[in-house]
Amino acid sequence: MDLLEKGAAEIIRTSDLRERLEESRKTGRPLRVKAGFDPTAPDLHLGHTVLMRKLRHFQQLGHQVIFLVGDFTSLIGDPTGRNVTRKPLTREQIDKNAETYKEQVFKILDPGQTEVRYNSEWLGKLDYEQTIRLTAHFTVSQMLERDEFHKRFQAEQPISLHELLYPVMQGYDSVCLECDVELGGTDQKFNLMCGRELQRHYGQKPQIVLMTPILEGLDGVQKMSKSLGNAVGINEPPGEMYGKLMSISDELMWKYFVFLTDLKISEIEALKAGVAAGSEHPMAVKKRLARTVTGGFHGEAAADEADKNWARMFQQKETAENLDEVKVSWAEVAGAEAGQVKLPKLLVAVGLAASGAEANRKIAEKAVKLDGESAASPSFSVGPLPARIVVRLGKRARVAVIS
C-alpha cells in the first residue's frame, strides 16, 4: 500500500483496494490493472509517465498490467479539459501515433508483464443496436454533471453528441477488459467513474479507481503539454532532457521527485528538510533529480555526460570571465557539520563583504548566488573536498577554492 499510495491524489476506495489485494494474495489471481492512452500525438512526455510508473508499481507487485491504446476513442476525442470540441484525427494519424507509443512505453514498463490492447478490438465491433443499449445506462443529466459539459452548456457553447459518447466508451473498456483497477489523472474522474457504473450493470465487481494529480509542465503553472511548449519528451536527447529539468523552479522540483522517481516519500522529505536547513544546496538536489530522470530513460552514462555538459555550459560559464580565484581554508568558513560552509564567513573570506553583518544582510536581500543559483540560507554543504564555487554578490564575483 505504501508503494501504490505514493503520489495518489484519490483512491475510490482505499479499503476496497486493500480488500482486493488481500483477495489476490489468497487466491493467487493477479489484479487486472489498466490505464488508457489516446494516441493524439506522436510522442509521450513526462506527464504521461506518471500513470505508467504507477502501472509499473503494480507490475512490481506481480499484477497484470494492461496498457490500453485508445485507437477507437481517439476518433471521438477526450473532452476532458476542453471548452471546445476537439478536431477529429484521421485513422492514419491515429495508427501512426499508436506505433510510436508502443516503442516508448517499454522504457518504463516490463514488456514481458504488459498486455497491450487496442479498444477498437471491441468498440469497433459494436453495431447500432448495441451502442443504443450501452448508452441507455446513462442519462443526459448525468452527462451534464461533468464539469466541462456543464460549463459549456451554461455558456451556450456547442456540445457535440459524439462527445457525450466518450465517457461511455471508456467505461465499456473496463467491462470488456474485466478491470479490477483503473488508473487516471484527477481530471479523468468522471470517465473513470463511468467504468464503475457500467461494470455494475454488467454484473462485474466495480473497479477501484486510483487517480494521480496532473503534472505541471516546466512553467510550473499549466498541465504539461507539447502544444503549450512546457513538456519534456521521453524521446528527447539526454542533454536536452537534463537541461529542461534543471530549468524548473525549486518548488516544482519536489513534485517531480514524487512522480518521476522511485525515491520514497520519507527520502524526499529528508532532502526537502535538508534544503530548508541549509545542509543541502537546492542546485545539488535538482541535479540529482535531473540525473535520476535522465538516467532512467537514457542510462547512467548518458546522464553523467549530460550533467558534465550542463555544468560546463552553465555553472562554469562565469569562470570564463577570468574571475579572480581566492584560496580559502576550511577553518575560515567551516560550519557545525562536516562539509558544511557558513556563507557569511565565505563572503568575507573572498572579499565580497566587509563583515558578517553585511554578508547576512545581502543574503537576506537574496543578492548572493552560488554557482549561478540564488542562496537563501546562511549555510550549505559541499563535497567532495576540496570545493570550487563561483560566489557572486551583485555584479562582483569570485571563485572560492576551499581546501
β-bridge pairing 64-69 and 32-37: parallel
What residues contact 103, with CB distance under 8 A and at least 6 apart?
Answer: none
> Residue 181's closest CA among 72, 262, 63?
63
pLDDT at residue 77, rounded to an integer: 63
First to last CA, the chain: 47
pLDDT score of 249 more than 70: yes
- 392 vs 11 pLDDT, higher one: 11
β-bridge pairing 32-37 and 181-185: parallel
All domains of the chain, ordered by start, with CATH? 2-212 (3.40.50.620), 238-313 (1.10.240.10), 319-402 (3.10.290.10)
Q: What are the pLDDT digits (tens) for 58-103?
A: 999 999 999 999 888 887 765 555 444 556 677 788 888 878 787 7
d(CA 397, CA 368): 10
> Residue 368's closest CA among 349, 395, 345, 341?
395
pLDDT at residue 152, rounded to an integer: 83
Average pLDDT, the chain: 86
Q: What are the pLDDT digits (tens) for 94-136?
A: 888 878 787 788 889 998 889 999 999 999 999 999 999 999 9
Q: How confident is the model at residue 393 (pLDDT cuts 50, 70, 90)?
A: confident
Q: What are the pLDDT digits (tens) for 179-207?
A: 999 999 998 898 899 999 999 999 999 99
